[in-house]
Structure 1
């Protein structure tokens, strides 16, 4: 380590995940010291709810770190080393639409997969590109760690539209699962695991997991997952019902290929009928988040502001935020730590399209990620990946070409959607709902 300190911008400062990131940054000052922390959001009122509480926290716990929140791009993006991007274009109102329109048609309604993910992707592309352009204009040597969803579509868009940008697309879902794996085998955390993993974002498989002595952990993990999924049972009191179901359902996903361990999101593609049958079209994940995490986070921020002190603040670091700080540290200090990222394939999975944006382990250093070879995808995985990757490419084609047909093709090809007529019915309804966000389709 040296005596450098870094300037960090959280783009999407009004996110309910922001306080957890700040807590991690404060706890990681020895690992990754910061001199400046900035929030940027285009929704001043929402950001203010978070920022007013964080200003009190920073003054009490890190008065030496400059803190500011702004809606001005030049102020936000100037003098920045790392941008942590977590925007949600259309906010929860549009997420609710993404979930509920497909469910009306008997199709999975989920924010990153199927028609909902496609709709969200078309909204996210211009928002993320705008952030990249601001960074390149005001801090061209900065790195952007983007975890704005849906990461697969955003990654394909940035590959095409900003191929030389210093953006790294990431996702914390495999990280959360690896934290669970560590608990299952009795290790402190995910950084104690050495793993092999490949796929697309929210669409991947572990082929090998070991501890740092080389001990094979797959037999123990497989035995547990076959029975429980990734659900940790009595270790998680108060966990939201939707996540309990998701972690448990991993057992059924695993059963399809007991040679690997799956990402939880594969349940939406492999068991869509089950997902729809167990969904409430009037109370989706958005409603759960608004009644749960959003209410809790904004309530805690309001309490801190009302009391004028953060001495007993309830926010904690999360796996989501510790992963981001690990990435920043690896880049800043050229540590070559093994971490996941969504990058152009270019041979990392040998028998998959070299232009596919795959999620694989990389060694992270001063020049960003260096992909590691994961060999060939098995036939089952190759078929699924090829189909889903084509869906993602067609969505970006539709964005670039303003093409109705390309978007209809994307929805029709998607494994979650039963046929082209259902795809068209959903698409036509989605066009009306997204009139303020999507390009005009022809």
Structure 2
């Protein structure tokens, strides 16, 4: 019987780096150990999820002054807050006094994830903070010798907003968020003028985050698990890999198939839609959906009428949480029949996501097998190869000094 060889984190990172150097025609999947190893996961948290840009929210989720949204990432409890000056800020939820979560304690369950507040009060010793993060009051502390009230505001989290999406960089050391490549591909799409119409909370799944991202980003599996759902809509034969890629992003064009096309214009088969398309999109743009990923986990599928945003957060070596928001153009919010169209789209999502979730769990369940090795990648799995390059670039330096 074959015995599974367990590698140190150093060896595992070096193996990923070697694979990332292979040309695409020779590309192979990640080592199976990369999908469950606790040491590698800790390294990913430090170097990727604390060191890179991660999308955590949309601006319309905190529409009014005092609105807040709680998010946890890489053991960092945060909250997105809109201030009285209408500015959006992201703060650590950890009280500056004795480290209590400001939304913990006796905070009502309904208020722990989102709500509206005039200020934030620590449930332990009642330190209170304004919406801009500054310390408003520290009971019986203001006369403490040398106590500087201005020095004990909530710690801000480095953040940037791109087309309505809020990104954070936890360690504050990342280069400015670079999205120009995706912007060129989006062309006339302006997602800053789109709004969340509904959210499907998929909950936590027993699947490593990389398995989820790999499955999302490749269309080769349309001919398998999605043969009755996505394959008729976007046949693998019509999917075009993007003609430009970046070191940390990938896209493909999923073009409508003849079986389900809603018509033809200027020689392009038009993609069926649940709502009217965004204004000013060309027939070419209305013939397809864009499958886009900015590593590690920013995943959007802009379509002429509805954009799907996959908000995934790793929760452990073999688990992640997933919410999927359906965005529609702002101009459609007063459209008659909008809610019905969005509901149909959400139901369709639940169908194919159920297929994805089940197959991903099957993959996860066999990654500890001694026989989980020796695979090869199809050209439509290019995103998996690019993910390996991303992982190698982020993990190799730290991996050289880390061991199990």
TM-score, normalised via structure 1 length: 0.24
- Report which of the two structures shows the higher radius of gyration computed on alpha carbons: 2
- Higher strand proportion: 2
Higher relative contact order (CA 8 A, sep 6+): 2
TM value normalised by structure 2: 0.25
